[in-house]
A = this chain, B = another copy of it.
Amino acid sequence: MRPTEKKLAATLSQNGYKLTAQRRSVLGAIVSSHEHLTPAAVYERVKQDNPRVGLVTVYRTLELFSELGLICRVHGEGKSQSYTLAPIGHHHHMICSECGTVADFTDCDLSDLEERLSQETGFEIEGHMLEFYGRCSNCRSQVLSVTA
């Protein structure tokens, strides 16, 4: 289940936060995009919906949503943080380096590797980050149609 308006309202009130127009706009901007968006990109989209929101609010809202598990951060590549919708539970991202589309996958199964590394190095492994980079099927099929 993707976070909808109802999900947003429920999550916010469950955690003692208020449902505001700005928060609805920010969630809307992210839900309507398959790409990972930087705060600045979210801001641009949100402004079209509601010109009165400020960039600061976007930053604050993204952080809040991230804490609440509604969205999650995408790492790698660029130099500013990016966010995308969060599916439920542990998952990872495949990111298209051409169009920025993010695809999720859940079964990373690194436990064998973790165990072996743990034994070899004495590290107690508490978490990991895994991202794949490549070109999505859409971009692969459009190789010839876009000639810069």
Residues of the B chain whose Cβ atoms lie less than 8 Å from the Cβ of A114: 132
A129 and B131 form a contact (CB under 8 A): yes
A122 at the interface (CB under 8 A from B): yes
Q: Using a CB-CB cutoff of 8 Å, which residues 92-148 of chain A contact chain B?
A: 94, 96-97, 103, 105, 108-110, 113-114, 117-118, 120-138, 140
Q: Count identical subunits in the complex.
A: 2
Residues of the B chain whose Cβ atoms lie less than 8 Å from the Cβ of A124: 134-135, 140
A75 at the interface (CB under 8 A from B): yes
Residues of A within 8 A of B (CB): 75-76, 94, 96-97, 103, 105, 108-110, 113-114, 117-118, 120-138, 140
The distance in angstroms between the C-alpha atoms of A105 and B130, with both chains bound, is 15
Contacts beyond the supplied A123-B135, A125-B132, A128-B131: 7 A-B pairs with Cβ under 8 Å: A75-B75, A75-B129, A105-B117, A105-B120, A108-B113, A121-B136, A125-B134
The distance in angstroms between the C-alpha atoms of A97 and B109, with both chains bound, is 22
Given A117-B94, A117-B105: A133 in contact with B127 (beta carbons within 8 A) = yes
Residues of the B chain whose Cβ atoms lie less than 8 Å from the Cβ of A110: 130
A96 and B123 form a contact (CB under 8 A): yes
B94 and A121 form a contact (CB under 8 A): yes
Q: Which residue of B lies closest to A101 (CB)?
A: B123
